[in-house]
DNA sequence: AAGACGCTCAACCGCTGGCCC
DNA sequence: AGGGCCAGCGGTTGAGCGTCT
């Protein structure tokens, strides 16, 4: 018998009477205590040594997705949603890769978010989640709207912080967290941003890229930037190397996203938006209420998107 | 009140690639 | 070189819960 724990292979699952299904509190405590003492790794032997009648796989999953102390619980934030949408547009279903850029979130959680929220909307629109139409809708409607909501929330919090030190501290912590996420992203990509925005730079980068026509021909003009193909480093460099205009203090007006001419310029897709459609009159979002991106899929937007998809399919 | 339905998410399954012997 | 084991990944399932009718 070698030191790699091959003793586990000598026992069938039946012989070990392995448990399946939901974990009990006792099992959780056993696993936590064992890892606290001995550390992670060698999951099959860990399961045996800890006296858990679980497969190593099951132990690993329970630990990584639930018991790990740095696992973040709670709703996916707007910033996280934006990041997920963006990263998924670049890497496709590479959940673990995407999860690397959302500290504390697991690949399982992101995958579930995608399947339950994003794919649901695609289904409602009767289109494939991987179709160009849906991806366009995501990038040109959903994501810009997320940016707007994030900025609105930041503005509201900043205003409140004038009178509340605690709120100020909290906001700073939030910003620092986002900065950390984004800096981590840049660091991993080996990209040096030329002129970092002052505020939430990840969000700001969206604003700047969409306000920079020159850039539209690179990162945004083609459906190639969606797809499931793995993005190259140069793709990302293009994405972040947006010439920073005079507006580097994150005060760009998100409403610009909704101007048809600009969007057509960006997409290079004539007819994507109906001529004369006043996007600014489409304000389905309630900035004061709710926190869910689901708000986007209200009657007006659904109608508009369905119309677009129908036209596109004809 | 209760059954149907839909949603969420923890957990499982099957596969793959890497490592070790 | 080839077999066996392991960790990790993406896809899928199903229990639990809330909402609707």
Whether nucleic acid strand B comes within 7 Å of the CB of A20, the answer is yes
Would the pLDDT of A307 be above 60?
Answer: no
Q: Which residues of A296-311 are buried (b: 16+ CB within 10 A; e: fewer)?
A: bbeeebeebbeebbee
> Looking at the domain assignment, is residue A141 inside a domain?
yes
Through-space separation of residue A265 CA and nucleotide B16 C1' in angstroms: 43
Query: What average pLDDT does this structure show over A247-274?
Result: 31
Closest-CA residue to A81 (of A103, A102, A106, A107)? A102
> Looking at the domain assignment, is residue A302 inside a domain?
yes
User: Rounded CA gap, A157 and A155, in Å?
Assistant: 5
C-beta of residue A180 within 8 angstroms of C-beta of residue A103? yes
Structural domain count of chain A: 2
Q: Are A106 and A41 part of one and the same domain?
A: no
Would the pLDDT of A138 be above 70?
Answer: yes
Last residue of some domain: A39, A67, A95? A67
Q: Are A125 and A202 part of one and the same domain?
A: yes
Through-space separation of residue A178 CA and nucleotide C8 C1' in angstroms: 27
User: Rounded CA gap, A299 and A24, in Å?
Assistant: 43
Q: Are A43 and A128 part of one and the same domain?
A: no
Q: Are A302 and A158 part of one and the same domain?
A: yes
Q: What is the pLDDT of residues A161-199, one digit of tens each?
A: 655 444 334 434 433 443 343 344 334 333 323 232 333
Nucleotides of C under 7 A from a protein CB: 4-12, 15-16
Q: Are A98 and A61 part of one and the same domain?
A: no
Q: Are A186 and A255 part of one and the same domain?
A: yes
Q: Which of residues 45-74 of A touch strand B (CB under 7 A)?
A: 54, 57-58, 61-62, 65-66
Would the pLDDT of A250 be above 70?
Answer: no
**Predicted local distance difference test score (pLDDT) of residue A203:** 57
Through-space separation of residue A76 CA and nucleotide B13 C1' in angstroms: 27
Structural domain that includes position A93: 78-313
Nucleotide nearest to A2 (CA to C1'): B21
Q: What is the pLDDT of residues A36-89, one digit of tens each?
A: 888 887 888 888 888 888 888 888 888 888 888 878 777 788 888 888 888 888
Through-space separation of residue A9 CA and nucleotide C4 C1' in angstroms: 9
Q: Are A113 and A221 part of one and the same domain?
A: yes
Q: Are A30 and A84 part of one and the same domain?
A: no
Count CB neighbours of A77 within 10 A: 18
Count CB neighbours of A294 within 10 A: 11
Q: What CATH number did the domain enclosing A17 receive?
A: 1.10.10.60
Q: Are A154 and A87 part of one and the same domain?
A: yes
> Looking at the domain assignment, is residue A242 inside a domain?
yes
Q: Which protein residue's Cα is closest to nucleotide B9 at C1'?
A: A112
Q: Are A259 and A300 part of one and the same domain?
A: yes
Q: Are A88 and A59 part of one and the same domain?
A: no
> Looking at the domain assignment, is residue A73 inside a domain?
no
Q: Are A56 and A95 part of one and the same domain?
A: no
Q: What is the pLDDT of residues A80-126, one digit of tens each?
A: 888 888 888 888 888 888 888 888 888 888 888 888 888 777 776 77
Q: For A164, list phi and psi in degrees, rounded to 5.
A: -130, 115
């Amino acid at each position: 018998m070698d030191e790699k724990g091959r003793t586990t292979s000598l026992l069938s699952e039946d012989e070990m009477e392995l448990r399946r299904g939901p974990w009990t509190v006792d099992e959780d405590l056993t696993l936590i205590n064992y890892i606290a003492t001995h550390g992670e790794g060698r999951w099959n032997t860990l399961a045996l040594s800890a006296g858990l009648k679980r497969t190593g796989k099951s132990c690993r999953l329970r630990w990584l997705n639930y018991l790990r102390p740095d696992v973040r619980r709670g709703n996916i934030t707007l910033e996280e949603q934006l990041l997920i949408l963006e990263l998924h547009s670049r890497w496709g279903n590479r959940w673990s890769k995407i999860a690397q850029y959302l500290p504390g979130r697991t690949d399982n959680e992101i995958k579930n978010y995608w399947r339950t929220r994003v794919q649901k909307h695609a289904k409602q629109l009767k289109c494939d989640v991987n179709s160009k139409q849906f991806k366009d809708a995501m990038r040109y409607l959903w994501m810009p709207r997320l940016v707007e909501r994030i900025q609105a929330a930041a503005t509201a919090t900043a205003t409140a912080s004038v009178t509340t030190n605690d709120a100020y501290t909290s906001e700073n912590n939030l910003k620092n967290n986002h900065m950390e996420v984004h800096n981590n992203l840049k660091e991993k990509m080996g990209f040096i941003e030329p002129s970092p925005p002052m505020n939430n730079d990840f969000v700001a980068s969206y604003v700047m890229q969409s306000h920079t026509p020159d850039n539209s021909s690179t990162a945004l003009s083609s459906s190639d930037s969606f797809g499931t193909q793995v993005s190259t480093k140069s793709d990302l460099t293009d994405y972040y190397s947006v010439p920073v205009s005079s507006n580097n203090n994150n005060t760009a007006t998100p409403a610009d996203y909704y101007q048809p001419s600009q969007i057509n310029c960006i997409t290079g897709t004539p007819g994507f938006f109906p001529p004369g459609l006043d996007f600014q009159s489409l304000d389905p979002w309630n900035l004061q209420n709710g926190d869910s991106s689901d708000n986007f899929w209200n009657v007006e937007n659904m109608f508009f998107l369905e119309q677009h998809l129908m036209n596109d399919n004809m």
